[in-house]
Amino acid sequence: MKHERAGRTRRSVRTAAAVGAAGLALALLSGCGGGGKSGGSGDAASASAAASASPAAGGTSAVAGVAEVPSIAAMVPASFRKSGVIKDITYNDAPPDEYVDGGDLVGWEVDLAKATAQVLGLKVEITGSGSFDSFIPGLQNHRYDVSFTSWVVTPEREKVLDLVSMFQSGTGFAVPQSSTLKVSAITDLCGAKVAVIQGSAFVEQLKAADTKCTAAGKPAIQTSTFPSDAAAELAVGSGRAQVYATSSNQLPYLIEQSHKAFAIQPLDYLPTPIAVGTSKGNGLAKPIAAALQHLMDDGTYDRVLKQYGVDSGRLTKAAVLPAG
Quickly state the pLDDT bin for 154 (edges 50, 70, 90): confident
CA distance 290 to 295: 9
Query: Which run of H or E residues covers position 115?
Result: helix 108-120
Q: Which residue has the higher pLDDT, 7 or 150?
A: 150
44 falls in which pLDDT band (50, 70, 90)?
very low
State the average pLDDT over residues 245-255.
Answer: 83
In the predicted model, what is the mean pLDDT of residues 27-34?
28
Which DSSP helix (H) or strand (E) runs through 299?
Answer: none
Q: What is the residue-averaged pLDDT of the chain?
A: 82
Between residues 31 and 160, the one the model is more confident about: 160
If pLDDT is split at 50, 70 and 90, which confidence band does 189 have? very high
Is 0.85 topped by the overall pTM?
Answer: no
Q: How far apart are CA 136 and CA 147, in angstroms?
A: 9
3-state secondary structure 211-263: HHHHHCCCCCCEEEEECCHHHHHHHHHCCCCCEEEEECCCHHHHHHHCCCCEE
pLDDT 10s digits, 45-68:
333 444 444 333 444 678 989 999
- pLDDT the model gives residue 82: 98
Q: What pLDDT, on a 0 to 100 scale, did the predictor assign at position 323?
A: 62
Could you please report the per-residue DSSP string of 143-184?
S-SEEEEEEE--HHHHHHEEEEEEEEEEEEEEEETT-----S
Nearest to 236 by CA among 8, 87, 14, 21: 21
14 pLDDT higher than 60: no
Decide if domain 173-270 falls under CATH 1.10.10.10.
Answer: no
Picking from 250, 291, 251, the residue whose alpha carbon sits closest to that of residue 124 is 291
Q: What is the pLDDT of residue 132?
A: 84
Q: What does the alpha-carbon distance between residue 55 and residue 248 come to, in Å, rounded to a whole number?
A: 32
Name the least confident of 3-12, 264-273, 296-305. Answer: 3-12
Instruction: Give the span between the Cα atoms of 45 and 273, in whole angstroms.
Output: 31
DSSP conformation class of 112? H
Among 204-208, 270-274, 278-282, the range scoring the smallest mean pLDDT is 270-274
Specify which residues 50 forms β-bridges with: 127
> pLDDT for 62-92, tens place per residue?
898 999 999 999 999 999 999 999 999 999 9
Question: What would the CATH number be for the domain defined by 12-169+272-321?
Answer: 3.40.190.10
* C-alpha to C-alpha distance for 93 and 73, rounded to whole angstroms: 31
Domain ranges of the chain: 12-169+272-321, 173-270
The alpha carbon torsion through 43, 86, 105, 64 (nearest 10 deg) reads 180
pLDDT of residue 60: 61
Q: What is the pLDDT confidence band of residue 309, given thresholds at 50, 70 and 90?
A: confident
